[in-house]
């Protein structure tokens, strides 16, 4: 899952970036409204975390223009503006959720998970598919009831393939979901992780769609 974090405060941005990376999200952090617009143009993100008081272009303007262009990303506003009118205008401009600073990291993570869940079109917090059960909150994976030990990257890769399942993702898309701008990607890193996952889940669980990419398929 790749998130775009828009936050002008260096200290807050740094901590949020660190915290989200710690949750195995790929995070790109930009610090003003213009850069946010540029980054959104890439269309590789699963969620937008947006501060409102931004240099160069205000967060609300960035958001409403993004929605006018047809942007579908779930948007979570994180701001110090706590007045009811601010919340209303934030949500009316197209935000899906609104979090007032200072907030708790666990709450932020929960809201991010909830938004991603809805974006993938499901209501259940746990993803179950073909004998595999994945819990994004506790980051546990079960195969036919028994716990699987996955590395952080393996977990992120599996979640990308399962949420929603049976969608075909290219190698490039998978790389984008796993790595932010600031992370080095080994030339065949994703293929290595797929190889590891196949060993743990069974070879046929992750299918190679020739010439397109990968998808999960129930055995």
Footprint of another protein (CB under 8 A): 9-12, 14-16, 18-19, 22, 32, 55-56, 80-81, 100-106
Q: How far is the CB of 107 from another protein (least distance, A)?
A: 11
69/101 with CB nearer another protein: 101
Which two three-digit tokens encode residue 13? Answer: 């941005």
Is the separation of the CB atoms in 48 and 4 below 8 Å?
yes
47/206 with CB nearer another protein: 47
Q: How far is the CB of 197 from another protein (least distance, A)?
A: 26
Q: How far is the CB of 12 from another protein (least distance, A)?
A: 5
9/175 with CB nearer another protein: 9
Which two three-digit tokens encode residue 85? Answer: 């009118």
Is the separation of the CB atoms in 194 and 63 below 8 Å?
no
100/168 with CB nearer another protein: 100
Determine the straight-line distance between the first and last CA of the chain, rounded to whole angstroms: 25
Nearest partner of 36 among 19, 53, 12, 11, judged by Cα? 53
Give me the residue label for tokens 């190679």: 208
Nearest partner of 189 among 141, 143, 156, 159, judged by Cα? 156
Q: How far is the CB of 77 from another protein (least distance, A)?
A: 14
Q: How far is the CB of 53 from another protein (least distance, A)?
A: 9
Angstrom distance (rounded) from CA 111 to CA 210:
36
Is the separation of the CB atoms in 21 and 180 below 8 Å?
yes
61/119 with CB nearer another protein: 61
């Amino acid at each position: 899952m790749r998130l775009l974090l828009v936050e002008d405060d260096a200290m807050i941005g740094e901590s949020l970036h660190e915290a989200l990376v710690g949750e195995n999200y790929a995070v790109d952090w930009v610090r003003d409204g213009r850069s946010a617009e540029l980054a959104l143009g890439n269309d590789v993100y699963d969620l937008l975390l947006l501060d409102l008081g931004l240099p160069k272009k205000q967060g609300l303007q960035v958001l409403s223009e993004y929605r006018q262009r047809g942007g579908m990303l779930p948007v979570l506003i994180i701001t110090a503006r706590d007045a009811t009118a601010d919340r209303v205008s934030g949500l009316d401009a197209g935000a899906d959720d609104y979090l007032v600073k200072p907030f708790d990291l666990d709450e932020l993570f929960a809201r991010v998970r909830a938004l991603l869940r809805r974006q993938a079109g499901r209501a259940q917090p746990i993803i179950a598919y073909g004998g595999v059960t994945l819990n994004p909150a506790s980051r546990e994976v079960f195969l036919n009831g028994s716990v699987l030990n996955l590395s952080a990257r393996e977990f992120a890769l599996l979640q990308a393939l399962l949420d929603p399942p049976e969608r075909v993702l290219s190698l490039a898309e998978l790389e984008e979901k796993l790595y932010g701008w600031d992370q080095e990607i080994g030339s065949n890193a994703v293929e290595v992780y797929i190889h590891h996952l196949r060993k743990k889940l069974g070879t046929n669980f992750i299918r190679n769609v020739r010439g397109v990419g990968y998808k999960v398929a129930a055995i």
